[in-house]
Structures are given as C-alpha cells and as structure tokens.
C-alpha cells in the first residue's frame, strides 16, 4: 500500500517536472544570484588634441607592385599642425615635396581618427586616412592618390612621433661605409618596369659605382671649417655624401633619389621637414659646401678622364 503511494507521489512529481514543448521555464527562487564571466569594462581616457600635435616620421610604403615586385619607399614626415573642434590641419614632407592637408577627426577609445585631404591642385595630391595614438606616440594609416592610375597611388604607413631639432654634431652611421653609391641610376634600379635591388654579386652596375669609405665618419662640415687639404684627397662619392649630410641635418627633403635613399634607409636621425633649407645653413656650412663642391665637380669631370 505504502509503495503504491510513493510511486503515485513520484509519478505526480515527475509529471509536474516534465517541461512542455513550447516553453522552457526555469523556475528559480527569488534570491538566486546569477554570476557569468563578463569582460571588465575598459575605460579610455579622454585624450587632448595638444597631445597629438607634432611630427610623425616613418616610411611611406607602397603596396607591392605587379608580380609582387618591391617598389622603393620614401621617408615621410607627417605633421599635425593644429587640431580642435573636429577639424585638423597639417602637412606632409616626402621625396622633396611638402603638401598641406585639412580634414576632420573623431575621438574613440583614446585615439583620434582622421580623414584629411590635400588641396587637389597638384597632380600628386591625395587623401589620408589615419589614426593618431597619443599614448603610443604613433600614427598609422593609408593614403590614396587622387589620380589612381599613377604608380604608387596607394600607400600605407606606421609613423613614430619625433621632434625635429637641428644638431650639427649628428654624424653618419658606422654602417654606411662600405655601401655602394651608384651613378645616376641609384641603389634601386628600375628594369623592365619593376624596381629591383642592386646585386653586388652580379656586379651589374659596377663600372659606375663608388664605395663609400670611412672618411664620411671622420669629417663633419657642420662642425669644422674645412681646408683644401681635408677634401682634396677624398673620393667623389664621399664628398657628395658629406655635403648632402649638411642638408640632411637641417631636415632637407631630397629630390635626388640616390641621396634620398641613403638618408631614408641608413640614417636613423634623418627626418625630412623642409624642401628648402638654404636660408638655414650656417656660414661655416655655406663655405664648406662651396669648397666640397669644387673638389666634387673636379673629381666628377676629371678623375677618370684624360684631363688633369
């Protein structure tokens, strides 16, 4: 008899437990606490525009060319000149060109997101889309030319914040001596429509190349007055480099791609900030440049020819 009651009770209980097909209701006691794993809410601080203003330097990189070939990049300085009320103005200096840009920005998660355009009256103008991260002192983004059919019409860049100041004591890096300076063609030469790197082993452009020597580490025309005896026995390539290093110290953006390549890739302190530094040269530098140029031209014209 008792067994039957238990069984009946269990059956009733079981019948009550069975959920219906339509609804699955979980009946809980009112004071049950649910704890689930949730990501902690990150709070980004409000960044101020003044923190973003300044210079950012790095390579203005190309997307790989057709057939995956490498197209040489130039160093760029992206300058944020003013930011406020949602508008930003700045300018960029790269490969001997300085162009302004204006645009708008928003702030999100401690970074500024900028969209800006260059004036558009220059055939090489384009537009920027980038992010400024003031805490990391970085700028990252892309650029697209207005005329998309041009070579190198899309670029990307990751720039680091860098202050510019003229320092006459800056010397050339110890890694530079031993590198080749090529005549006119440059270290990267264009062959059959693609950029390829000069190959020392095959010695393709050997006949017109000169190797840089350690002379370029010894002589700093921004720090010492040069005499003819200092420069008369120097190789032409060395003379050319130490002369251009003067301009590089002033942040000159080189139009000459041979020289530009050397400073963009080998010289860490170099950053292009100006397309004309003539008025910035010190008197010592001006005199040294004249002296170096004389011997440089003499070597260029007469070193490997019949003349004296």
Partner 1 sequence: MLLLPPNADAVIPDKPVKIATKTLSTGGLLLYAIFFGLMAQITLQYFPLNTDVAFLRIKQQIIGLTHYRFAFFVHVYTSMFVLLAGFTQFSPSLLRHSPQWHRRLGWLYVIVVTGLAAPSGLVMGWYANGGVSSRMAFCLLAVLWFWCTLKAVLSAYRRDFIAHRAWMIRSFALTLSAITLRAWKYVLVALLHPRPMDVYRTVAWLSWIGNIVVAEIIIHQIKKK
**Stretch in the footprint of partner 1 (CB under 8 A) among 47-55, 155-163, 273-281, 297-305:** 297-305
Choice from 50, 167, 206, 304 touching partner 1 (CB under 8 A): 304
Q: Which two tokens stand for residue 105?
A: 């920005």
Cα–Cα distance measured from residue 157 to residue 139, given in angstroms and rounded to the nearest whole number:
8
Choice from 216, 234, 241, 267 touching partner 1 (CB under 8 A): 234
Choice from 38, 233, 279, 283 touching partner 1 (CB under 8 A): 233
Q: Determine if 308 is a binding residue for partner 1 (CB under 8 A).
A: yes
Q: Which two tokens stand for residue 247?
A: 């301009």
SS3 state at 283: helix
Q: Which 193-232 positions form the footprint of partner 1 (CB under 8 A)? A: 228, 232
CB of 304 to partner 1, least distance (A): 5
In the numeric block, the tokens 């530009």 are attached to 260
Q: Which is nearer to partner 1, 78 or 289 (CB)?
A: 289
Cα–Cα distance measured from residue 308 to residue 303, given in angstroms and rounded to the nearest whole number:
8
Q: Determine if 303 is a binding residue for partner 1 (CB under 8 A).
A: yes
What is the biggest distance separating any 2 CA atoms in the chain, rounded to whole angstroms? 133
Q: How far from 303 is each of 44, 138, 183, 253, CA to CA, in Å? A: 64, 47, 14, 29
The answer to whether 153 and 126 have CB atoms below 8 angstroms apart is yes
Convert 46-98 into a string of H (helix), E (strand) and C (coil).
Answer: CCCHHHHCEEEEEEEEECCCHHHCCCCCEEEEEEEEEEECCEEEEEEEECCEE
Q: Which is nearer to partner 1, 199 or 304 (CB)?
A: 304
Q: Which is nearer to partner 1, 40 or 307 (CB)?
A: 307
Q: Which is nearer to partner 1, 120 or 228 (CB)?
A: 228
CB of 235 to partner 1, least distance (A): 6
Q: Determine if 299 is a binding residue for partner 1 (CB under 8 A).
A: yes
Q: Which two tokens stand for residue 17?
A: 């437990």
CB of 205 to partner 1, least distance (A): 15
Burial 136-153, CB ≥16 within 10 A → b, else e: eebbbbebebeeeeeebb
Q: Determine if 235 is a binding residue for partner 1 (CB under 8 A).
A: yes
**Stretch in the footprint of partner 1 (CB under 8 A) among 23-31, 80-88, 252-260, 294-302:** 294-302
Q: Determine if 294 is a binding residue for partner 1 (CB under 8 A).
A: yes
Q: Determine if 297 is a binding residue for partner 1 (CB under 8 A).
A: yes
Q: Determine if 298 is a binding residue for partner 1 (CB under 8 A).
A: yes
Cα–Cα distance measured from residue 116 to residue 128, given in angstroms and rounded to the nearest whole number:
5
Q: Which is nearer to partner 1, 25 or 233 (CB)?
A: 233
Interface residue list for partner 1 (CB under 8 A): 228, 232-235, 294-295, 297-299, 303-308
């Amino acid at each position: 008899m008792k067994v039957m009651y238990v069984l009946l009770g269990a059956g009733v209980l079981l019948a009550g437990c069975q959920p219906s097909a339509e609804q699955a209701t979980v009946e809980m006691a009112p004071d049950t606490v649910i704890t689930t794993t949730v990501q902690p809410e990150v709070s980004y601080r409000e960044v101020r525009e003044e923190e973003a203003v300044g210079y950012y330097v790095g390579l203005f990189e190309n997307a790989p060319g057709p057939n995956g070939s490498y197209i040489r990049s130039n160093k760029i300085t992206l300058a944020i000149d003013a930011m406020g009320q949602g508008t930003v103005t700045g300018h960029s200096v790269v490969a001997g060109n300085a162009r302004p840009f204006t645009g708008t920005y928003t702030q999100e998660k401690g970074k500024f997101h900028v969209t800006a355009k260059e004036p558009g009256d220059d055939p090489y103008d384009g537009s920027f889309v980038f992010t400024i991260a003031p805490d990391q002192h970085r700028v990252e983004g892309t650029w697209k030319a207005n005329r998309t059919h041009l070579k190198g019409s899309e670029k990307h860049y990751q720039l680091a914040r860098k202050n510019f100041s003229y320092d006459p004591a800056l010397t050339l890096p110890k890694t530079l001596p031993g590198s080749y300076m090529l005549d006119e063609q440059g270290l990267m030469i264009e062959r059959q429509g693609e950029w390829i790197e000069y190959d020392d082993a095959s010695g393709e452009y050997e006949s017109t190349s000169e190797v840089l020597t350690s002379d370029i580490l010894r002589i700093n025309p921004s720090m010492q007055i040069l005499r003819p005896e200092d420069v008369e026995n120097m190789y032409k390539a060395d003379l050319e480099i130490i002369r251009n290093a003067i301009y590089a110290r002033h942040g000159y953006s080189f139009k000459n791609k041979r020289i530009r390549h050397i400073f963009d890739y080998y010289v860490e302190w170099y950053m292009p900030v100006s397309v004309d530094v003539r008025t910035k040269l010190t008197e010592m530098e001006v005199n040294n440049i004249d002296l170096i140029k004389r011997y440089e031209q003499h070597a260029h014209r007469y070193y490997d020819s019949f003349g004296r």
